[in-house]
């Protein structure tokens, strides 16, 4: 009987450790809501983007050349955040988690190497949402509408 209880408790502890190991840091704030029509949020996002993102993703959100092909270091260059890139193909929660925790956490591979910095502890959640809202505010209306439709299906 004691052995059965011990094995059961051990299984619970292992399951809890797995949840922490694989799920830690992969959440987004409840109802991550981008606000591309709020001028104050967009203005903050534009400032934070210029200070933290433009050096890689471009002042005009154009990304780096050949962003779909790995560079000499084996890593992908920074993609554009304008309508020519794939940013708008991802929902707000995914974009938030990618920005805050990095690609490795998002895909469950802590060893994944990327030039994308992890902004947890660098930017606040509100600043990350503001940056993403700024980016979305620059997309043509049809792309914004498609992104809204995707978000509403979630």
Other CB atoms within a 10 A radius of the CB of residue 79 amount to 20
Percentage, residues of the chain above pLDDT 90:
66
Is residue 117 assigned to a domain? yes
| Burial tier of 10 (Cβ tally within 10 Å: 0-12, 13-18, 19+) | exposed
- For residue 4, pLDDT beyond 60: no
The answer as to whether 33 is a domain residue is yes
Residue 76's domain spans which residues? 26-153
pTM of the model: 0.78
For residue 11, what pLDDT is reported? Answer: 34
**Distance from C-alpha of 31 to C-alpha of 136, rounded to nearest angstrom:** 17
How many domains is the chain partitioned into structurally?
Answer: 1
Query: Does the residue 20 lie in any domain?
Result: no
Q: 153 exposed, middle or buried (CB, 10 Å; 0-12, 13-18, 19+)?
A: exposed
Rounded CA-CA distance 45/133 in Å is 7
Interval 70-95: pLDDT, tens? 999 999 999 999 999 999 999 999 99
């Amino acid at each position: 009987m004691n052995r059965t209880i011990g094995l059961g408790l051990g299984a619970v502890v292992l399951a809890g450790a797995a949840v922490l190991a694989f799920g830690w840091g992969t959440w987004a704030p409840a109802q991550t809501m981008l606000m591309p029509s709020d001028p104050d949020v967009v203005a903050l996002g534009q400032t934070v983007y210029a200070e933290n993102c433009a050096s890689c993703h471009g002042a005009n959100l154009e990304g780096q050349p050949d962003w779909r092909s790995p560079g000499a270091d084996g890593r992908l260059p920074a993609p554009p955040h304008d309508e020519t890139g794939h940013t708008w193909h991802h929902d707000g929660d995914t974009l938030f988690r990618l920005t805050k925790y990095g690609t490795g956490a998002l895909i469950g591979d802590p060893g994944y190497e990327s030039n994308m910095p992890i902004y947890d502890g660098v930017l606040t959640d509100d600043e990350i949402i503001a940056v993403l809202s700024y980016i979305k505010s620059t997309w043509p209306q049809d792309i914004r509408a498609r992104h809204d439709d995707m978000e509403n299906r979630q």
